Amino acid sequence: MNSLFSEIFGCYYKVITEIVNNSPLSVDEIRNIINEKGFAESCFHLLPKLETLPFIEKRDGKYYSRLENKIKMPITNIEKSWLKAISQDPRFELFAVDYDKSKLDNIEPLYEQAQFKYYDKYSDGDDFDNYYYQKHFRKINAALENTTPVKIVYQNPKGRITVNHYIPVKFEFSPKDDKFRFFAARIRNGKLIDYVCLNMGRILDVRNSNETYKGKLNLEPHLEKFDCEEPVVVEVYDDRNAIERFMVEFSTYRKNSEFDDNTQTCTTKIYYRKTDEIEVLIKLLSFGPTLKVLGSERFLKLFKYRIKKQYEMIKG
């Protein structure tokens, strides 16, 4: 258990664990589990072995577990070390409920937060350690998981305070801004009014709501209203592994890409949120001469202006 890799965490062990924990099962149900969680040839190897296992017995055409309790996979030292490392991230407390850190007091973390250096990142990120921020986040996260409405007191960028009832639908995190935001359905008198995007850092209070909504929520068709009117169009040159780096950097964005074998270039349309425009701009600037912005016209002007400002700063 002290080694980095152990066979008990392998595919076949996981399949057998699934079978034991969900027994009794028919042959067809077992075959479905093996096909879903195993390899193409797993049925051929595992099915004949089931009746030879001491903790499984076959009765009346079904397989039963002889164990009194379900199988629980032990936590390895490397997993404990990883848990200790991520528990030091200030965002960890937002998702961890009733988490006892003392159980990992004697565990050395896999890495330290101080080992990471962030560049091109705003310094006014959300205060994840703030008691009220954590309280609000957990209430909204619980409402999202249970699809229940909450009453939110919110202050917009102009300082105006509003009170509305929402059903949270989806969280998003911006690494560049170091902030959380979430999409929510605004409801009133049992009716869906619209979908909105709220910043966690601007929430003043989250309360229980007496509103009800029995309809279905479908955010996807409405996401375009949060996007910029036109996508940014870029041409990436196959130099210094730029295309691969570009795809990794913009992996979370909706985009359409075409590769030209003749010119060895990739032309991509990137669709992004209005609130992410500066973040997209900074990311594109980081690619230097391996990338060319083709449009939109408005974004191209913004891109040229940013380059000019940087040049003036360097020139002094």
Mean pLDDT, each 10-residue run in order, the chain (316 residues) = 61 89 93 86 83 90 92 84 92 87 89 84 87 96 96 94 97 88 95 94 96 91 81 92 92 89 92 85 91 92 88 77
Please write the tens of the pLDDT for every residue from 149-179.
Answer: 999 999 998 899 999 999 999 999 988 789 9
The CATH label, of 3.40.50, 1.10.3470, 3.40.1350, 3.30.70, for the domain at 232-315 is 3.30.70
pTM: 0.66
66 and 55 in contact (C-beta within 8 Å)? yes
- The domain segmentation of the chain, as residue ranges, is 7-65, 77-115, 131-226, 232-315
Please write the tens of the pLDDT for every residue from 96-120.
Answer: 887 788 888 899 999 998 898 877 6
Instruction: Check residue 136 and give its pLDDT.
Output: 97
Instruction: Check residue 210 and give its pLDDT.
Output: 94
The CATH label, of 1.10.150, 2.30.30, 1.10.10, 2.60.40, for the domain at 131-226 is 2.30.30
Instruction: Check residue 2 and give its pLDDT.
Output: 47
